[in-house]
Structure 1
Amino acid sequence: MTEATKNSASSGGLSWFARSLNVIERVGNKLPDPAILFALFMIAVWVISWALSGVSFTEIDPRNGKPIQIKNLLEGAALTTFMAKLVSTFVSFPPLGVVLVAMLGLGVAEYTGFINAGLRSILSVTPKMLLTPVLVAVGILSHVAVDAGYVLVIPLGAVIFYAAGRHPLAGIAAAFAGVSGGFSASLFIPSSLDPLLAGLTQASARLSSNPAAAELIINPLNNYYFTSASAILIVFIGWFLTDKVIEPRLKNTPVDGDPAGLPTLDPLTLSERRGLRFAVLSMLLCIALLVVTIYPATSPWRGTDASLTHATAPLMQSIVALILVFFLIPGVVYGYAAGTVKNHRDVIQGMTKSMSGMGYYIVMAFFCAQFIYAFGQSNLGALIAIKGAGGLKELALPMGVTLIGIVILTSLVNLLVGSASAKWALIGAVMVPMLMELGVSPDLTQAAYRVGDSSTNIITPLMPYFPLIVVFCQKYVKSTGIGTLIALMLPYSVALLVLWTTFLLCFWMLGLPLGIGASYSFPIAR
């Protein structure tokens, strides 16, 4: 085969792949917004509850020992109750408060420049041979600032690779793999995603007909050990693929962008260095103060059993508040020391800006809360869980196969629904209570979901930041398109899906702890 033929075949293959992705994109774009999806699903629950309210089912509801009965949500009493509780259902929605509170601190840290300076400082002192693993690790670390990695770490990845004489698209790929492919991993520092998913998991678990579900409390760090260990796995996957697969493939791809207009990895100014020193010192002092106060056996951070890690311990119930404090204080200190903050009004402006960016999430949370409330009141969740558990029991599938099924299902749904919280609100409402009926803990189900959700983030055009990454690539290679980026990231996606799932199965088989206050099993109702 001649070189021209090879190029033609390669081009034809890429064009076919790009056309296939365009079909997926068109189909996905026809789906309503997630907020409207929840509203439509809520209406569907109302109609289905009306249709099934007169049907007699043989499945026994463990909560009362009687055959399960679907409640008609369209009857007068149910509708008036729904309206009366509309506001309380929204404001008591578990993920709402935790996300907004965490974002107050993270928003100030981002607004003052603390997070920006910290990431630039780490990347600028990295030895060339460790450039790739550190870039992937920083991408994972950026999760504490929610979306900061997309707008900061990824373009900086291209800059530092280009400055080091390496292909800039390889830097974008490595950073993208860490930021988005490893979205559910955490480099030892909890992110706002942890309490968000835990809140949704708890809301879904309460849909279970198992009486024990009423007392169940999901720890915000229920996957902490697994996600922290996963970060190490993702760093090595990203390191190997970038250096051994992606960069060699890009060798013949010319950089034809205009370097004059490209962003640069500016060194920290004297004021930024001073601010960073004071900010890091203040964060270390906060950590030291926390350690000193939790150490005594009589510490008020401990629960009634003197435990620090039980879900009812004040320390565990204060995780979100600690995230707020540990980023708010260093953010403010950095701002005053670096001169980016002049007075308290600037600090409030940082909080206000972070809250203004949460407008869409609040709208989606409103409809999501109403859907979950209706789903729970109808008893449809309990019916699906009991029937689904019965079907799985009849199939007698090994638990490992069931976990793989959750991962694959999530990864496929992720190609059409980009929001991690929206997907988990939909999938979790069915999967969590169903698997609880089989004795599988919500903690393990959530961990399987996180693997599937992250693995295909980097190959779905419907991920909100995907078009932005294409633009970053086009600054260096003008011909970059959606198919180009997906072809670039597909090796990472496949490797993450296979190896990360295997990693979860190893955790489960070895009985390694998933996180704080987490378990693998859940007591089956008798």
Structure 2
Amino acid sequence: MSNQAIPDAPYKVGAMDRFLNFIERAGNKIPDPAILFFWALICVWLASALLSHVTFDLINPRTGSELEIANLLTGEALANFLANMVTTFTGFAPLGIVLVAMLGVGVADSSGFITTGLKKMLAVTPAKLLTPMLILVAIVSHTAADAGYVLVIPLGGIIFHAAGRHPLAGIAAAFAGVSGGFSANFIPSGIDPLLAGFTQTSAQVLDPDYIVNPLANIYFTGLSSFVVVIIGWFVTEKIIEPRLAATPVDKDAEEVPDLGAMSTQESNAFKYAMLAMLAGIAVLIFAIIPESSALRSPEGELTAFSAPLMKSIVPLIFILFIIPGVVYGRVVGKFKRSNDIIKAMSDTMGTMGSYIVMSFFCAQFLVAFGQSNIGTMLALYGAEGLKALNLPGQATVVGMILLTAMVNLLVGSSSAKWALIGPILVPMLMAVGISPELSQAAYRVGDSVSNIISPLMVFFPLVVVYCQRYVKSTGIGTLASMMMPFSIAMLIGWSLFLLAYWALEIPLGFAAPYTYSM
């Protein structure tokens, strides 16, 4: 690989750059998700007042009577809104779920346990398996929130550079795993209960008693990990690296570092932390083995909704991350006092500020949307339209994936996007017999595949900076064009995998049916 710098040349703006510039300008005009939900709430109020005088030839499946739109701008409705504003926020299901899970993950991340684990996985990888292992590690990094963006992606460039391969190919492969494979993971993470909370709230627009298990998609996302790895491996080595052969690394690029170097203390700390984590898992297994276990349902089942184990998924994520995090932090000296652990939790909560603000407005919007019956009306009319088209369920699911991928170019937040379109799509698909769990799986595919080509994704500019360490002429269009093959291949391959998965009736996850009966 040549390290000779190329002479400066005028940058030619191509069609792809013009398209991405248009997307960037349009997307920058979209307000913050919190403001978006505020205006959505106002729109629901106004629409409810107008539609409350309209008669619809629809039957509300929740009541069995004629559908009516409730006017939310009456004095009584507004008084109830003010009186219940606090409890609406504190009772918002995704809020507590995400914050509790992130407390444990934050301790593990802050201590350095997750960072050392990722380095160890990469350090023992054979050269021929460097690409798939990098993508797999990128997928696993989702358990640590944004760790993949700040650690794995730049590390991808470093290890490829150290191996004599083009560093931009390593960055692209890692980016594809971290962001393009965002919903592919065989390890439960905060995104699972987060999306399940929104899915459950959306499903309850039609069925107030419907419950969605936080691990409703865990089998599908686990096997999807291998699909994403295979696709990313092929695209990296057969498309991206040959294309980058004509792009030399700048002569003054960063030097190749000592890959995977870590102290004996860090290695020992990681060993003790893993032993502690395995001990915690062993205790849990022994606790659930007896048929009379308190973690089982009254009927002795483990995966039933009534089983305390299923209600404890999020607390277990918290515990199984905080144990190795504390042990690792103690051994390396990161956590010298108990106050250091609390500080790590506090710092993690500090990063959740924007999510908490967004959750406040989102909770108010979702409650109003449900009370107005507008969501029910849209879902039923949408279902009638789908029935009139007489499309097979597979075509409907693929359409949902494409719609989500397009919306993702303008609204990057996974949770904000699902909170906006979930209350419409989930009940609509329920009305034509598709379960909320399957709708959520389809959403996760569409939400992931277009992340890597959207300049509005918050970490996209950061990845451009990583690339500029090696090729200073790299711009947004350069990165987007480099990631486009990954996006297209994942969109096609992952969608086909979901359809095949559905056809074979492989379980999506815990208590996750494919169909729903009104």
Whether the TM-score (by the shorter chain) exceeds 0.5 is yes
Which residue matches 1:197? 195
**Cα RMSD (Å):** 1.5
Q: 1:72 to 1:133 in 2, by over 3 A?
A: same
Shift of 1:439: 1.4
| AA in 1 matched with 2:231 | I
Shift of 1:338: 1.4
Which residue matches 2:64? 65
With normalisation by structure 2, the TM-score equals 0.97
Which SS does the other structure have where 2:104 is aligned? Answer: helix
| AA in 2 matched with 1:460 | S
Q: Distance in 1 between matches of 2:254 and 2:374?
A: 60
Alignment of 1:359 onto 2:353: yes
Which residue matches 1:19? 18
CA contact (8 A) 1:159 1:264 kept: no
1:335-354 equivalences in 2 (<5 Å): 335-354=329-348
Which residue matches 2:139? 140
Shift of 1:75: 0.4
| AA in 1 matched with 2:355 | Y
Which residue matches 2:5? none
Q: Distance in 1 between matches of 2:79 and 2:422?
A: 27
Q: Distance in 1 between matches of 2:93 and 2:260?
A: 41
1:87-486 equivalences in 2 (<5 Å): 87-186=86-185, 188-208=186-206, 213-256=207-250, 258-260=252-254, 265-486=259-480
Which residue matches 1:4? none
Q: Distance in 1 between matches of 2:505 and 2:351?
A: 40
Shift of 1:414: 0.2
| AA in 2 matched with 1:66 | S
Which residue matches 1:7? none
Which runs of 5 or more residues in structure 1 are unaligned? 1-10
| AA in 2 matched with 1:249 | R
Which SS does the other structure have where 2:14 is aligned? Answer: helix
| AA in 2 matched with 1:103 | M
Which SS does the other structure have where 1:85 is aligned? Answer: helix
CA contact (8 A) 1:436 1:522 kept: yes
CA contact (8 A) 1:136 1:235 kept: yes
| AA in 1 matched with 2:15 | W
Shift of 1:64: 2.7
CA contact (8 A) 1:109 1:332 kept: yes
Q: Distance in 1 between matches of 2:298 and 2:474?
A: 59
Shift of 1:311: 2.1
| AA in 2 matched with 1:363 | V
| AA in 1 matched with 2:71 | N
Which residue matches 1:6? none
Shift of 1:215: 2.0
Which residue matches 1:84? 83
Shift of 1:264: 5.7
Q: 1:12 to 1:494 in 2, by over 3 A?
A: farther
Alignment deviations for residues 78-132 of structure 1 (CA, whole Å, 9 cap, x no partner): 0010111101111111110010001101101111111111111111121111100
Q: 1:487 to 1:264 in 2, by over 3 A?
A: farther
Which residue matches 1:54? 53
With normalisation by structure 1, the TM-score equals 0.95
| AA in 2 matched with 1:191 | S
| AA in 1 matched with 2:343 | Q
Q: Distance in 1 between matches of 2:429 and 2:457?
A: 28
Which residue matches 1:492? 486
Which SS does the other structure have where 1:122 is aligned? Answer: helix
CA contact (8 A) 1:200 1:424 kept: yes
Shift of 1:389: 0.8
CA contact (8 A) 1:414 1:456 kept: yes
| AA in 2 matched with 1:509 | A
Q: 1:271 to 1:251 in 2, by over 3 A?
A: same
Alignment deviations for residues 123-149 of structure 1 (CA, whole Å, 9 cap, x no partner): 112111110000000000001111110
Q: Distance in 2 between matches of 1:287 and 1:100?
A: 22
Q: Distance in 1 between matches of 2:382 and 2:327?
A: 53
CA contact (8 A) 1:90 1:365 kept: yes
Shift of 1:418: 0.4
Which SS does the other structure have where 1:99 is aligned? Answer: helix
Q: 1:467 to 1:326 in 2, by over 3 A?
A: same
| AA in 1 matched with 2:314 | V
Matched residues, number: 511
Shift of 1:507: 1.2
Among all aligned residue pairs of Structure 1 and Structure 2, give the percentage whose two residues are the same amino acid.
Answer: 57
Q: Distance in 2 between matches of 1:78 and 1:435?
A: 30
- Relative to structure 2, which stretch is displaced further, 249-258 or 295-304? 249-258
Alignment deviations for residues 241-266 of structure 1 (CA, whole Å, 9 cap, x no partner): 11111111111111116344777635
Q: 1:179 to 1:324 in 2, by over 3 A?
A: same
Which residue matches 2:3? none
Q: Distance in 2 between matches of 1:456 and 1:101?
A: 29
Shift of 1:12: 9.0
CA contact (8 A) 2:120 2:260 kept: no
Which residue matches 1:3? none
CA contact (8 A) 1:50 1:72 kept: yes
1:1-16 equivalences in 2 (<5 Å): 15-16=14-15
